[in-house]
A and B are shown apart, each in its own frame.
Chain A
Amino acid sequence: MSALTGRYEILLSGSGGQGIILSGIVLAEAGIAEGRKVVQTASYGPESRGGASRSQVILSREEIDYPGVISPNFVFVLTQLAADKYAHTVSPQGFVLADSSWVEAVPQNLPAPIIALRLSEEAASRFGMALFANVIGLGFFIERSGVLRAESVTEALARRVPKHYREANLEAFTFGRELAKQQSGQ
C-alpha cells in the first residue's frame, strides 16, 4: 500500500463463471462502506462462461485518478493461465493466493510470497460446489491483509449473492478466514 495515498490494489483473475467479477464488486462495495474511494474494473472475453476473466479493485483514501492496477498488493489466481500471466506482477509488499486445484505449476521466485491452497476442491467437498472457491479466497485475503473489516465484506457479500446461496457464501467466507489464521499460526 502506498503510504502517501493509501492506494491499495487488488487483482483477481480466473476463468469466466468463477465469480471473479462478483468478488471485485463485493470488495468495492465494502470499501465504500468504510469511506474509501474505490474503483472496480473488469476485463473478459466475449464468452459468458470460460475464457480469461480479470477483476481489479483499487481502494484509496484519496481521489483515484488512474483506474488501472499499477502494482497489485494482492493477486488472486484461479487458473494456470492467470497464474502465469499475473502472479509476477505482485508488489514486493503484497502476496499472491493461488487456487492449486487449478494452478498445477505454482509460479516460483516471485517478488512476494505465494500461498497455494486447493480451494476449489475444499469448496466442492465442504460447500457442495467448486464455485465457492472465490469466496473462500476473499475470506483468506481479508483475514491476512486486514485491508477491510470482515464485517463490511460480509455485509456486501450478503447483499450481492443470491438469497438461497447467502448462508453458504458466508460460511465459505468464514472458512477462508480460518484458513488464514491457521496459516499465520504455522
Chain B
Amino acid sequence: MAQTLLLQGNEACAEGALYAGCRFYGGYPITPSSEIAEYLARKLPLAGGTFVQMEDEIASIASIIGASMAGVKAMTATSGPGFSLMQENLDLAAVTETPVVIVDAMRGGPSTGMPTATGQGDYMQARWGSHSDHPVVVLAPAGAQEMFDLTVKAFNIAEALRLPVVLLPEAVVSHIREAVRIPDPGEMEVIDRYQPDDYEGNGFFRRDERGLAYPPVLGSGFHPHYTGLAHAEDGFPSNDPGVVRKFVEGLNQKVAKNLDLVTDFEEEAVEDAEVILASFGVTGRACQHVARLLRKQGHRVGYFRPRIVWPFPEARVRELAHTADTFVVAELNLGQMRLEVERIACGEARVVGLHKVDGSMLEIHEILVKVNEVLP
C-alpha cells in the first residue's frame, strides 16, 4: 500500500533510490548528506543490496562505477568538498557510459565552508566540474517529496541515457521534513538498463538513431573493453581524429537528442507576466510564494523553476524572454544560473540577479524588495 510518512529530505531520497532499484551504495559520510548513507546502511541489506563505507570520495565514486558496470544500480551521496574529489571519476562514468547517481547536498560556501548551512554554490560545478566536454544531467529538488520523485527520475535518466546524473539539493532540502507519499510498486515508472543480445562486430559503444550506446554489463558473456581514453566503437583506445571526433561529439549529443527525457520545469502565471521570478530548489518555493502574493495585489508577476537544471530548459526560457520584460534570478550563490538566463535571454529581456551567500535561505521580504525595484 502506498503510504504517506513524515520523512526528512535525505530519507526520502534514500527511499526513492530503493524504489528505483538501487542496490549498491558506496560513500563517505559528510554533512549535510550523511542521513542518506545512514538510512541505506540499514535498508539496503534488507533489500538484498550492498552498502560499503569507502575510505574517501574518490574511492566512493569508483566503487559505484564498478558496481554499475557489473549491472547493479548504484549511487553515492556527498557534499561540496567530497563532490570536488569525485569530479575525476565523474567523467570516467560519462565516457564509459556507466549509469550512476551522485547526490551533492549543497552546504554554504567554498572549501569546507559551513557544513550545516545552506547554499546553491555548486550549480556550475555540477555541470562543468569535470574536465573537458562530457554529458551530465542535474536535478534540483525543492522539498522532501521531490527528493523522492527526482531520485527515481535520476536513476531512470541515468539508466536510459547511460550517464552520470547528479541530484543537487540544498542543505535545507536535505534536512527538511515533510509528508512524503511513497507510491506502490509499479505506480511510478522505473527504467531498467537495456541490454542488447548481440553486438555486431564487437560494436559495444555503437550508437543507435537516438544517439545511445548500450555497452554490456561485465560478466554477461561479452568482453567489452572499458577505458577513460578516447575510444572507438569496440571500446579500444584511439587517437584517430575521425574516431575521436565521433567519440566526443557522440557522447555530448546524447542529451541534446533526448531532450524529452531531460526537460522538467514548474511554472505559474508566466503567460502575461512582466516580471518572472526564476530560481531552482527550495529557493524557488520562496519565489513562488512572492509571485502568488504579488499576483493577488494585481501585479503581473510569474514564477519559473527548472527541476532539471542541466540541461537548462533553454527553449522554454527563450519563449519566456520574448513575452516577459524582466527575469529576476534568485539563488544562493553570486549568480550562476543567472549566467544561463542571461545567455538565453540575450537582450530580449532584462535579467536581474538576487543573490545571497550567508548560509541562510532567501526570505520573503528580501525577494519582495528586489521585485519592487524592477516592477514597472
Q: Which of A's residues lie within 8 Å of B, judged by CB?
A: 24-25, 28-29, 32, 37-46, 64-68, 70
B289 touches A66 (CB 8 A): yes
Per DSSP, chain A at the interface is mixed
Interface pair A67/B6, CB less than 8 Å apart:
no
Contact between A29 and B285, CB atoms less than 8 A apart: no
Band of interface residues on B: 20 to 34
Chain A residues within an 8 Å CB radius of B292: 65
| Nearest Cβ on chain A to B79's Cβ, whole angstroms | 12
Interface of chain B, helix or strand or loop or mixed?
mixed
Residues of A within 8 A of B282 (CB): 67
B178–A66 CB distance below 8 A: no
Interface residues of B in 122-154 (CB under 8 A from A): 143
Query: How many angstroms from the CA of A112 to the CA of B143 in the assembled complex?
Result: 32
**Total A-B pairs in contact (CB under 8 Å)?**
59
Which residues in chain B, 102-121, are within 8 Å of chain A measured between CB atoms?
114-117
Q: How far is the CA of A24 from the CA of B116 in the complex (A)?
A: 18
Given contacts A25-B177, A41-B172, A66-B364, 14 further A-B contacts (CB under 8 A): A29-B6, A32-B4, A40-B178, A41-B175, A42-B175, A43-B117, A64-B178, A65-B286, A65-B292, A66-B288, A67-B176, A67-B178, A67-B285, A70-B363
Complex A-B: 25 CB contacts under 8 Å:
A24-B177, A28-B6, A32-B6, A38-B179, A39-B143, A39-B176, A39-B177, A40-B176, A40-B177, A41-B176, A42-B175, A43-B117, A43-B360, A44-B116, A46-B114, A46-B115, A65-B286, A65-B292, A66-B286, A67-B176, A67-B178, A67-B285, A68-B286, A68-B361, A70-B364
B333-376 interface code vs A (CB 8 A; 1 in, 0 out): 00000000000000000000000000011011000000000000
CB distance from B74 to the nearest CB of A (A): 29
- Given that A32-B4, A32-B6, A38-B178 are contacting pairs, would A67 and B115 also be in contact in the complex, using a CB cutoff of 8 Å? no
CB distance from B302 to the nearest CB of A (A): 14
Residues of B close to A64: CB separation below 8 A: 178
In the complex formed, the residue of A with least CB distance to B363 is A68
Selected contact of B116 from candidates A28, A45, A67, CB within 8 Å: A45
Q: Are A65 and B285 in contact (CB under 8 A)?
A: yes
